[in-house]
Amino acid sequence: FRFKDSLAEDLRRADLVISHAGAGSCLETLEKGKPLIVVTNEKLMNNHQLELAKQLDRDGHVFCCNCSTLVETLQSMDLSTLKPFSPGQPEKFASFLDKVFGFQ
List the CATH number of the domain containing 80: 3.40.50.2000
**Side-chain-facing half-sphere of 70: CA atoms under 13 Å:** 13
Rounded average pLDDT over 48-61? 92
Residue 1 placed within a domain: no
Coil, strand or helix: which one is 36?
Answer: strand
Residue 49's domain comprises 7-101
Cβ(61)–Cβ(82) below 8 Å: yes
Residue 87 lies in a domain: yes
What is the structure's pLDDT at 32? 94
Asked if residue 2 belongs to a domain, the reply is no
8-27, pLDDT tens digit by residue? 999 999 999 999 988 889 99
Rounded to two decimals, what is the model's pTM? Answer: 0.80
DSSP string across 58-87: HTTSSEEEEGGGHHHHHHH--GGGPPPPPP
- Assess if residue 11 is contained within a domain: yes
- Give the H/E segment covering residue 43: none
Indicate whether 65 belongs to any domain.
Answer: yes
Q: How many domains does the chain have?
A: 1
Express each pLDDT in 58-69 by its tens digit. Answer: 999 999 999 999
